[in-house]
Amino acid sequence: MKTHSVRHHESGRQLLILGCQGRPSCRTKFKTFFPILRLKTTASNISAVTATVASSIGAESYGVFKLSYDVRNEDQELLQKVWKRTIRVAISGAAGNISSHLLFMLASGGVFGMDQPVSFQLLGSERSRLKLEGVAMELEDSLYPLLREVRIGTDSRVMFRDADWVILLGAHPRTPGMTRAELLDINGQIFQEQGRALDEVASVDCKVLVVGNPCNTNALICMENAPRLPRANFHALMRLDENRAKCQLALRAGRFYTSLSRVAVWGNHSTTQVPDFLNARIAGVPAVDVIGDEGWFREEFTPTVANRGGAITERCRRSSAASTAVSIADALKSLVTPTPEGDCFSSAVCTDGNPYGIAEGLIFSMPCQSRADGRYEVVDNFMIDEWLDEKIMASEEELLKERACVSHLIPNAPPAACEITQDTMLPGEI
């Protein structure tokens, strides 16, 4: 790989600049590998470089750069600061609205920790190339000391290489007249290919969070096509549903949301999801006792949570990208910070060996807890009454039907008929 060296006239530091394929839209900017240290460059410095080489990861990366230089004259106390190993975070659909909120949360240190450097590997499409470059420029201009590198490209096998965390935002949007079965098939093909890419190039302990809908079954397809990765490392996003449930409980109880615990959402990210009020606690007291209105729980609480996205879309004329990004950050943070004693978080995970008798081989939301190492356990002491059991079974049945619809995308799965007839897509989902 060719590199070009330029000497900064004021400081005498050597810059290693990786070019950007001669793209006229590609502007060279730099980010230091050390916090606080910033390097000023001039147009004359930059013009001295013939930018012909893409990022070191491959020919489809462009528009952003790595910088290294001699810092022997810097504050030695600063240089001796111990940082964790940089983690690689790959994101598909990186030019979309959710990503535009999420990336800045991840880069700030608010998710993985204020001592955890990150490298972004942003996957887009040919149509989104210029927007990806713009996103990278904004990240550079934001001067996040923990953001050590940004790579952008259109090849999943390049962008997922050595990734420690992968967030799959990109999915085919539902178009007018498209059935849920058709959406499952179209997106299933996307996630089949992404699963294969992860299996080939991602870190062996890579954690994967699927956001693109229908996220439960998309995550299942991805998992089944990535047998090299642990099945427990695949998640589908249910944290937004949990956050919405907490909001409604707090509003009804007249308490701040931080007083809530053991709020879980079971099942599929669809209208069959089951926000669990039976096990929820408000200031340590069962929510059903604090609120004291069982009719509200069954008749208003559950549909309000399920239809919240539609209500936002109706008012804003767009999907809830910002709150989705926050919920992704919350979901990731729950895996890298210890779960408070007696609490839980919701995540759709593999049901293999689960303690609630839910069919194995599904991606199903259940209450989880983490010890802060990226791994989790399913909480096994939730009470299940007849009403809750009936609702959980309905969501389980729906996911079994979805799995049958995509059996042709799952290696070694027996052929099965697609029997989905109802539209259970959450209102406001894209």
Which two tokens mark 335?
A: 């895996």
Burial 61-78 (b: 16+ CB within 10 A, else e): bbbbbbbebebeeeeeee
Alpha carbons 183 and 212: distance in angstroms, whole number: 11
Spot the catalytic one: 8, 101, 172, 269: 269
Token pair belonging to 139: 């990240």
269 catalytic per annotation: yes
- Burial 185-196, CB ≥16 within 10 A → b, else e: bebbebbbbbbb
Torsion 392-393-394-395 (CA) sign:
positive
How far is Cα of residue 264 from the mean position of the Cα atoms in its chain?
19
Beta bridge partners of 345: 368
Phi then psi for 152, rounded to 5 degrees?
Answer: -130, 150
283 Cβ neighbours under 8 A, 6+ residues apart: 255, 259, 290
Residue 125's φ and ψ, nearest 5 degrees, are -125, 175
Task: Give me 34's structure tokens.
Answer: 């050390």
Which residues, including other chains, have CB under 8 Å from residue 15's CB and lie 6 or more apart?
5, 6, 7, 8, 30, 39, 41, 45, 67, 68, 69
> What is the C-alpha to C-alpha distance for residues 362 and 365, in angstroms, rounded to an integer?
10
DSSP β-bridge partners for residue 369: 377
Residues designated catalytic = 269
